[in-house]
Structure 1
Amino acid sequence: MRSFDFSPLYRSTIGFDPFFDLFDRIFSNETNQSGYPPFNIEKIGDDHYRISIAAAGFTEDDLNIEVRDHELIVSGRKERDDENRVFLHRGIAERAFEKRFQLADYVKVVDATLENGMLHIDLVREVPEALRPRRIEIRTPGGKTIEGKAVEAGKAEAKKLEKAEQ
């Protein structure tokens, strides 16, 4: 498995989204999680994400999704019903699993669906308005500001601008 080092990106950002931590843990060789079951993480919009987990053979009752302390925990445990069956070959993995995903601040789980053996977990990042980035207007000394643009105005033009603003 390849290991990707995202640390140079950390150095050039201040307070950046902790999703890099998530990707760093996924791609590092130091993770304690197995590759079972396989999963995808998709960005499906500016603030919308989807985790898709291959959960073939599991039903809704076999799966559990829980959010605790900014951590999404997905687990599956299938009831064993093979006492009366004799397998000549058993290649379909139906073993219990637990996957943990660290959630960034303001990321919420909004939906989960099980369709065609795939468990889809939809996430949305909702940053409060007070914490969202805002544009700061740059002004020049002595100039008037109209709609975010500085205007150098003579006395006659300044009077016209003041009347127009009123």
Structure 2
Amino acid sequence: MMTKPTFGTHPFLLGFDELERLVERTARSSDGYPPYNIEQTGEAGFRITLAVAGFSMEDLSITLEDAQLVVRGRARDEGERIWLHRGIAARQFQRAFVLADGVEVTGATMKNGLLHIDLQRSIPENVVKSIRIETAQD
């Protein structure tokens, strides 16, 4: 039985094996919390919106780690409350997004329990470079 080549081992995609490992690690770390949206805000703009009800700005951190945008939330200890019903989740979380080369974070805002992270992709210039072919010497 022939196996299908994976993204990192495809013969036309050289040097992308690290990207494949990054995507796999990101997919494994996701448990669905907190919920999020990704929208296109322009030709080269994006916005990630995470529902972070119950978190203050001090409870949240956004970092760039290699090619990943990582959002972490750490809920504060609320003391000795006695809950009769607790339907609003406020557990700690880590959500990671893999960013392509040229995608930069342009800002982050929080409003009405939603954390908005704005991204902008720079349009790369087309580069054409000729490679000289030399005669091999044995």
Could you tell me the TM-score, scaled by structure 1's length?
0.59
Within 5 Å, give how 1:49-60 maps onto structure 2: 49-60=46-57
Out of 23, 28, 32, which is 2:29 matched to?
A: 32
The question of 1:121 aligning with 2:117 is answered yes
**Once the two structures are superposed, what CA deviation does each residue of 1:112-133 show, in whole Å capped at 9, x if it has no partner?**
0010000000000113xxx424
Moved over 3 A (4+): none
Partner of 1:64: 61
Q: What amino acid maps onto 2:73 in structure 1? A: G
Out of 93, 105, 112, which is 1:97 matched to?
A: 93
Tell me, in whole angstroms, the C-alpha distance in 1 between the residues paired with 2:56 and 2:93. Answer: 14
Tell me, in whole angstroms, the C-alpha distance in 2 between the residues paired with 1:32 and 1:114. Answer: 24
Question: What is the CA-CA distance between 1:80 and the residue it aligns to?
Answer: 1.1
Partner of 2:107: 111
Q: What amino acid maps onto 2:125 in structure 1? A: R
The question of 1:132 aligning with 2:125 is answered yes
Runs of 5+ consecutive residues of structure 1 not aligned to the other structure: 1-6, 15-20, 135-166
Q: What amino acid maps onto 2:30 in structure 1? A: Q
Tell me, in whole angstroms, the C-alpha distance in 1 between the residues paired with 2:49 and 2:122. Answer: 21
Tell me, in whole angstroms, the C-alpha distance in 2 between the residues paired with 1:67 and 1:36. Answer: 20
Q: How many residues align structurally?
A: 109
Local SS of the residue matching 1:61: helix
Root-mean-square deviation over aligned CA pairs: 2.4
Tell me, in whole angstroms, the C-alpha distance in 2 between the residues paired with 1:55 and 1:92. Answer: 10
Local SS of the residue matching 1:80: coil
Determine if contact 2:29/2:95 at 8 Å carries over to the other structure.
Answer: no
Partner of 2:42: 45
Tell me, in whole angstroms, the C-alpha distance in 2 between the residues paired with 1:32 and 1:76. Answer: 14
Question: What is the CA-CA distance between 1:71 and the residue it aligns to?
Answer: 0.7
**Once the two structures are superposed, what CA deviation does each residue of 1:10-61 show, in whole Å capped at 9, x if it has no partner?**
x9xx8xxxxxx8xx87xxxx63310110001111111100000000011110
Runs of 5+ consecutive residues of structure 2 not aligned to the other structure: 1-5, 14-19, 128-138
Question: What is the CA-CA distance between 1:81 and the residue it aligns to?
Answer: 1.0
Structure possessing the higher radius of gyration over alpha carbons:
1
> Among the aligned pairs, what percent are the same residue?
45
Local SS of the residue matching 2:49: strand
Tell me, in whole angstroms, the C-alpha distance in 1 between the residues paired with 2:79 and 2:35. Answer: 24
Structure (1/2) with the larger helix percentage: 1
